[in-house]
Structure 1
């Protein structure tokens, strides 16, 4: 429509409600890019340097952004992808995936990935899978999973072999990055790791030193070390640009 006043004409263009809503929704996101040196493009069986790009949310819980510890783990996967055998293709499970960053990285490097987190992270993980479809093909599955579902010591759990359609004997790697934020989740995470790795999967866990979370980290590692052999990965094995004294990676 238009309004005339004297010799001037003001034109008002009606805005499509759906487009306006979409534009507002997009403003809640900001991106994180990471260059991968050994990406296996979905359409080719050759390594190439590409950028993995994920969306993060300005507002949300701790899982809505990519933390530095995830960058350390992701670049370790990139640098060590051949030695880790990600193109077998390995089967990778990411727990507490948040944006799905580390699992998506593994998939871009040739692995199959199952990325999991609580319900409020699922739409963000799906968004990032779709955003990187050319890099990952159909190698990533997204699932809601609450570690509280893992009832440690329960005989039914001990007998259970399937995790979202995959026999746990198939799992090669379990990825965990900066997941120790709440006291109630420490035992739940341990029980989940204990179960999913019980048939031989290797656990790769990164975290950043935080004074207020130190008791949680200590409690988790006390549990882990009671049953597993735990080693901190040397900084020499990490990417030179993605390592710091306050960032740790264990297997």
Structure 2
């Protein structure tokens, strides 16, 4: 366990307890992308976006970005897989944000409505599996009989196998 102090603005320091001993290291440490986001949010335009707003952090990991949003005046819901919730809760307490930041298990699913498009869009749609998502088509018989088309599909998206590092944008 490592305690990390991140100065984010004049007089504001974010405290993050990292849990690098977890098998799921993706949610156990503060990633560089989170630091970039935190400092954008703490700066001029970003800071004005947050005060009095509601923020939903999906897959919060350590909660660093969402906690920073809370320190900057937003009401925040941090979500992640159940085994990461104790760490999120500790980080909320470490920053004394219990009145502004809540923690919850990520349970939702995404329902995607998709209309067949040119080949380039079809290829982009196929990227879901490369980034770790599984798309399950809603059976035609579950659709409204008068509101369906052979070119329109509904899919449930859910997490699938872990993606390979080359699957992320910018890594190709």
TM-score of the pair, normalised by structure 1: 0.46
Q: Give the 5 Å matches for 1:57-68.
A: 57-60=19-22, 61=24, 62-68=26-32
Aligned length: 129
- Report how far residue 75 of structure 1 moved: 0.7
Is 1:73 paired with 2:73? Answer: no
Q: SS where residue 39 of structure 2 aligns?
A: helix
**2-structure distance, mates of 1:217, 1:187:** 19
**2-structure distance, mates of 1:102, 1:141:** 14
What is the CA RMSD across the aligned residues, in angstroms?
2.9
* Conserved 8 A contact 1:33-1:53: yes
- Report how far residue 63 of structure 1 moved: 0.5
- Report how far residue 94 of structure 1 moved: 0.5
**2-structure distance, mates of 1:216, 1:186:** 16
Change (3 A) 1:187 1:91: farther
Larger Cα Rg: Structure 1 or Structure 2? 1
Q: SS where residue 34 of structure 2 aligns?
A: helix
TM-score of the pair, normalised by structure 2: 0.65
- Report how far residue 151 of structure 1 moved: 4.2
Which segments of 5 or more consecutive residues in structure 2 lack a partner in the other structure? 114-127, 137-155, 159-163
Runs of 4+ in structure 1 over 6 Å off: none
Could you tell me which residue of structure 2 aligns to residue 83 of structure 1?
48
The correspondence for 1:129, drawn from 92, 95, 99, is: 92
- Report how far residue 113 of structure 1 moved: 0.3
**2-structure distance, mates of 1:63, 1:118:** 9
- Report how far residue 96 of structure 1 moved: 0.7
Change (3 A) 1:151 1:95: closer
